Amino acid sequence: MPAARPAYVAFDTETTGIATGSRLVEIAGVALSERGRVTSRFSTLVDPDMPIPAGAQAVHGISDAMVADAPSVADAMAEFFHWLPQGVPLIAHNARYDQDIISLACSQAKLPLPDCGLIDTRAMAQTLAATPNNRLETLIDWHELPVVGRAHRAAYDAEAVYHYFCYARRLMQPTITPLCSTWQHPRRLPSPLRALPAAVRSGAAWTFRYVNQRGQSCRPTITPMGFARVSDGIFFHGYHHYHQAIRCYRADGVVG
């Protein structure tokens, strides 16, 4: 019997956070045939070149020590794309976020995004409307799907996406959208942000003068956690020392 050919790849990412500019710390994938048979698997930790924030560690359990000897984002993405079957749609839960993450990772690594489609199992769950909410853990428990491991690790979540996709596809046809470039890694930053990359890399505090869109001025001190260019400008985020919470900022609001 010939080997089953991959028709889809369920994948998941774990990251340094959820705000714009958050970085990849783990990526995993499960390649499956048209009939739902697993053909291969992939998983790797990724060195984000910055300290992993405590809030993110609390979610996925990935520490700085665990990624100390992990591949760089460039090496990890090159390995993932070498494994990835060419042209097959990618499947993710809340796929827009994973698209943002791999878009930024590709931009950091100076690699093109793969030319493929994207399927969102969260959108499928919303359409089927069979569960109290559309969280991946809820879908797995509600439908008693056979996934073993720790939730919020990329390999487990990729397996969960695979199992739920196979279940949902029996009930509906998935919508496939193009995989798009969204978050970009800016090669050059405005002069008031020159200290930002080094502060992200080291986890050092950074104080700057900021004017918001209402014209109000402040001088926050944050521990920066990431930055990216999106369609309407450059954004960055970090832990605000006074408010003790994550805050997001526009680069064009930094005046000194």
pLDDT for res 152: 85
Q: What average pLDDT score do residues 93-103 get?
A: 98
Tally Cβ neighbours within 10 Å of residue 235. Answer: 20
Candidates 240, 178, 189; CA nearest to 53 is 240
SS3 187: coil
Can you identify the CATH homologous superfamily of domain 6-178?
Answer: Ribonuclease H-like superfamily/Ribonuclease H (3.30.420.10)
Cα separation, 98 vs 29, whole angstroms? 12
Considering the chain, what percentage of its residues have pLDDT values greater than 70? 99
Considering the chain, what percentage of its residues have pLDDT values greater than 90? 93
pLDDT tens-digit profile of 35-91?
999 999 999 999 999 999 999 999 999 999 999 999 999 999 999 999 999 999 999
pLDDT for res 3: 63
pLDDT, the chain, mean:
96
pLDDT tens-digit profile of 127-162?
999 999 999 999 999 999 998 887 889 999 999 999
| In 162-244, beta strands by DSSP E | 177-178, 206-207, 210-211, 217-218, 221-230, 233-240
pLDDT tens-digit profile of 164-194?
999 999 999 999 999 999 999 999 999 999 9
Helical H runs in 110-252? Answer: 121-128, 136-142, 154-169, 196-202
Q: What average pLDDT score do residues 14-41 get?
A: 98
| In 22-140, beta strands by DSSP E | 24-33, 38-45, 90-92, 117-120
User: Which residues of the chain form CATH 3.30.420.10?
Assistant: 6-178
Q: Between the CA of residue 116 and those of 23, 66, 72, 157, 247, what are the distances in Å?
A: 22, 31, 24, 21, 34
